[in-house]
Amino acid sequence: MPPFQPLPPRLNLPELEAQILSRWEGEKLFQRSLQQRRKGKPFVFYEGPPTANGLPGVHHILARSFKDCFLRYQEMLGRRVERRGGWDTHGLPVELEVERSLKIRAKPEIEEFGVEEFNRLCRNSVMEYIDEWERLTARIGFWLDLDHAYRTYDPSYIESVWWSLSQLYDQGWLYRGFRVAPYCPRCQTSLSSHELGQPGAYRDDVPDPGVTVRFRLVDDPLTSILAWTTTPWTLPGNLALAVGEQIAYVRVRQGEERLILARDRLSMLEGDYEVEEEFPGSRLLGLRYQRLFPYLPEQEAAWRVVSADFVSTEEGTGVVHTAGAYGEDDLRLCQEEGLEIRHTVGPDGRFLPFVSDFAGQFVKDADPAIEENLRSRGLLYRSETIHHTYPFCWRCETPLLYYALDSWFIRTTAVKERLLANNRAIHWVPSHLRDGRMGNWLETLQDWNLSRARYWGTPLPIWVCPDCQAERCIGSFAELSLPQGFDPHKPYIDEVTLTCDCGGVMRRVPEVIDCWYDSGAMPFAQWHYPFENRERFENEHPADYICEALDQTRGWFYTLLAESTMLFDEPAYRNVVVPSLVVDERGRKMSKSRGNVIDPWKLLSETGSDALRWWFYTTVKVGQEYRISARRVVDGGARFLNLLWNAQSFLVTYANLRGWEPGDAFSAPDHPLDRWILARLAQTVAEAREAMDRYDAHSACRAIQRLVEDTSTWYLRGSRVRLRPEAEHPEAAFSTLHRVLLDTCRLLAPFTPFTADAIYRELSPSGERASVHLEEYPEARPADDQLLREMEMVRRLTEEARARREAAGVPVRQPLPRATVRGAQLSSELAAVLAEEINVRDVRCVPAEGQASIELDFELTPELRQEGALRWLIRQVQNQRKTAGLRAGQPARLFLAASETLLEVAREGQEQLRRQCFITHVELGPAGAPVPSGYRHHSEARLEGELVGIGLELSDDHPPMQGEP
């Protein structure tokens, strides 16, 4: 039995991964790895729950690759790394999926269909693709405990969420407010920002009317203030005009009338005008103007000029028409001014009956009629069409309205400073996100619109008494005396009533909450804290590490931070790694409509998981986008793994040929190449650990890649001779290469878990090393810097020498008498390495100024010529062996037909020829002689014009083993 069980000579990643995977499952390796480190210090990871109602995509592999590598790394440092999976189960996307399947287009239809059944379908739908998720997670080697995954719809999870909301409520941080939100009048619900972020929500160059309207002053009807708006339908609801106190305004004369507008906006005027007076906006404050329409009830404070800080002179007239219910600024301003706000538009987007001239019309359709009305009364100064960006409902394409609604809010603005401080304590990768995208977001923080007038979600646990308006926020099921196994979802929870102190029957408010709050609650809700697992949660908060894609900045990263800050005043995570987006080869976003979406299973079957993972780690720094295609992944990922595979295959081939097997002790080798590659290893270990400790997988992998390249292209090249069957003392080279490959596997284990384990196991014939994933990460050791620098010099000189050979037209196989190195003093052992690499007899070092250089002496002696010819012959025979498909070690008979000179070379070098080419018998013939029929493999070659015939045939003799030719 050979010491090593050879793996297939050619790397077929998908096949190999399938084998390793089933082996892991058979060995329960994941469980064993956890078991082995159960006493270690915990390294806490939070899994951001995906929604399993859609198929996983390539971008999920990206995030999961990064999640996995840091967890495996920490585990190899001896940490206990439990990774509990989770599923996000609530929310509008789930509802929409069900609506689609039921062919429901509008919200009222859900009520007709029945909320109980609707929610039952939602619950089923959300786990529809869970198998697919589990399969993909396993396929890419992401070790995640999905058997004990938490689900946000579990009653225990909901109870913890309720507890947290009651905490906020008690602090006064959960309140009901009348706020403006983007609203779809057809679906009859406000939309979350998440939905506004859907493709197609914002459209550019949408045409809309731009109207400039006269607001005549009560005391001077010939003078008007001009205001401009792109939403004429809000004009019936006008309550005030806003100006900036510091802004310069002018009064101009145009014909009989006088107009007031900002000085910087005079370009709005049509025709000639004469500026009569200029004054600051403060002079306009309090001026009363004639209301445009008579629908709203009279109120003292209305229809006056007021001051606002949001007025600009970028567009319009520098005067902002203010309708309370249809703009965020408008609403806030009207509230500050004590104006009573009343809707002129119903929840269906149509004018209410009291808006008599336009009653029942959809507001957007009424715009022309409103314009015409104003024109007929001489109030329309100017009308145009403008093009701007406008939001639409991404489901039904209805233009959204900004519409004031009653809603529940979390007063995140109250803890803004704490959010900023806690965010600053987080280590972001890439670092600019902390103060950039996340920091800016927090700076402009608004209160969190928590409630959703929908069905499938965590019910808002607030009960209200219709009689005395008393409110109660519930923080546990016990407070409601719910029976065991009660489903706290709608519609069941809506049946639960409480008795008010006043004797009234309290009922729950109808809303559910934003499902993003669910996911932000996972640090405590997954453990049913504080009802259970108190100690566990307290020990495992904040997490050491989380990782999700960039789109979670304002999503999960924010909700985690907001909730942990408000509940515990600390960040929920200490380190966060944020990979950027996956786009197609040309840098375009992947979308179904564009047809450039990559199927993850197809990609994995073409490239293999390790290749894909490696490509993710190495191709760009975290934070840059990933331009992906199968070709690129193969080029960047599979190529690297193949190089490693070849190195491993080389070791196994020759170790088996030689009968070498790893010994117990590893003693420090003497040969400079051995010492050099071990120094490179030590250097790489230090680099990789340092990079991984700051969550920089990219730098770690690049360092490992350089090591593997150096191993293959420099160490192995130079060490071949010492590993051949005829070599005299191969132990040092074998054990060094063996050591380097084993440690490379350990270095790679977090990144390419399949290949690393496959090679590691092969190189551990005794079997005591069950898996690289039960190993520790290599220890950093000091590296011999002096040697590293010197070898750098040797490599540079080698390149130079080869370039000089090429310029002179002398192949490397032709030995030369001498090389002269100027300006560098090489030690004798490194001079020997150099001599070997560039095939010269002697290397001399002479002092010189400036940069080191090398010169070659091309003078050939007959002996050198003969040696060159012999090497040429050997080369030809090896080539013939290769084309004949003979493996290293397989014995063969050789026939040579050549000139007497060359035949003499063959006779003299017969010993070498036999050994290196595994030749048992040599038969010689004169130049031009035909190759006898006994040699099935034959060819001809030319050396300096002279024809040489070569014949080769498999020999019946025993294969030469143990260096015996």
Q: Which of 234, 552, 559, 735 binds RNA (CB under 7 A)?
A: 559
Question: How far is 15 from 21, CA to CA, in rounded Å?
Answer: 10
Nearer to RNA, 65 or 223 (CB): 65
Angle at 375 between CA 374 and CA 378, to 5 degrees: 90
756-785 binders of RNA (CB under 7 A): none
Which residues pair with residue 242 across a beta bridge?
306, 320
How far out from the chain centre does Cα 859 lie?
Answer: 59
Is 3 part of the annotated catalytic residue set?
A: no
585-604 binders of RNA (CB under 7 A): 587, 589
Is 882 part of the annotated catalytic residue set?
A: no
Nearer to RNA, 892 or 898 (CB): 892
Nearer to RNA, 623 or 669 (CB): 623
Q: Which of 188, 192, 254, 398 binds RNA (CB under 7 A)?
A: 192
Is 365 part of the annotated catalytic residue set?
A: no
Question: How far is 637 from 610, CA to CA, in rounded Å?
Answer: 7
Q: Locate 676 and state its tokens.
A: 């050099």
Tally the residues of the chain: 965
Angle between helices 600-607 and 58-76 (to 10 degrees): 60
Q: Which of 516, 527, 660, 714 is catalytic?
A: 516
According to the binding rule CB under 7 A, does residue 189 interact with RNA?
no
Please choose, from the candidates 230, 438, 192, the residue with its C-alpha nearest in 3D space to the C-alpha of residue 315. 230
According to the binding rule CB under 7 A, does residue 491 interact with RNA?
no
Rounded least distance, CB 938 to RNA, Å = 16
Nearer to RNA, 217 or 657 (CB): 657
168-187 binders of RNA (CB under 7 A): 179-182
Which residues pair with residue 44 across a beta bridge?
none
Residue found under tokens 């409509």: 593
Rounded least distance, CB 637 to RNA, Å = 11
Q: Locate 53 and state its tokens.
A: 């109602």
Fill in the per-residue mask, 322 to 361: x = in contact with RNA (CB under 7 A), - = not in contact.
------xx--------------------------------
791-850 binders of RNA (CB under 7 A): 799, 802-803, 806, 811-814
CB-based burial label for 890 (10 Å; 0-12, 13-18, 19+): middle
According to the binding rule CB under 7 A, does residue 202 interact with RNA?
yes
Is 556 part of the annotated catalytic residue set?
A: yes
Is 280 part of the annotated catalytic residue set?
A: no
Q: Which of 303, 456, 463, 556 is catalytic?
A: 556
Query: Which range touches RNA (CB under 7 A), out of 57-65, 247-255, 603-611, 642-650?
Result: 642-650
Question: How far is 740 from 696, CA to CA, in rounded Å?
Answer: 23
| CB contact at 8 A, 857 and 801 | no
Question: How far is 151 from 88, CA to CA, in rounded Å?
Answer: 6
Is 87 part of the annotated catalytic residue set?
A: no
Fill in the per-residue mask, 687 to 706: x = in contact with RNA (CB under 7 A), - = not in contact.
------------x--x----
Question: How far is 434 from 443, CA to CA, in rounded Å?
Answer: 12
Q: Which of 39, 592, 664, 782 is catalytic?
A: 592
Q: Locate 606 and state its tokens.
A: 């073409």
Rounded to a whole number of angstroms, the distance between the first and last alpha carbons of the chain is 21
Phi, psi of 304 (to 5 degrees): -130, 165
Rounded least distance, CB 565 to RNA, Å = 13
Q: Which of 49, 182, 232, 523 is catalytic?
A: 49
Nearer to RNA, 635 or 829 (CB): 635
Q: Which of 143, 153, 173, 402 binds RNA (CB under 7 A)?
A: 402
CB-based burial label for 306 (10 Å; 0-12, 13-18, 19+): buried
According to the binding rule CB under 7 A, does residue 725 interact with RNA?
no
Is 589 part of the annotated catalytic residue set?
A: yes
For 910, other C-beta atoms within 10 Å of its C-beta total: 15
Q: Which of 267, 376, 385, 389 binds RNA (CB under 7 A)?
A: 389
Q: Which of 552, 648, 683, 866 is catalytic?
A: 552
According to the binding rule CB under 7 A, does residue 647 interact with RNA?
yes
| CB contact at 8 A, 198 and 394 | yes
497-526 binders of RNA (CB under 7 A): 514, 516
Nearer to RNA, 566 or 716 (CB): 716
434-473 binders of RNA (CB under 7 A): 436-437, 440-441, 444-450
Nearer to RNA, 223 or 559 (CB): 559
Q: Which of 56, 74, 88, 399 is catalytic?
A: 88
| CB contact at 8 A, 786 and 827 | no
Which residues pair with residue 391 across a beta bridge?
202
Q: What positions carry a catalytic annotation?
A: 49, 88, 516, 552, 556, 589, 592
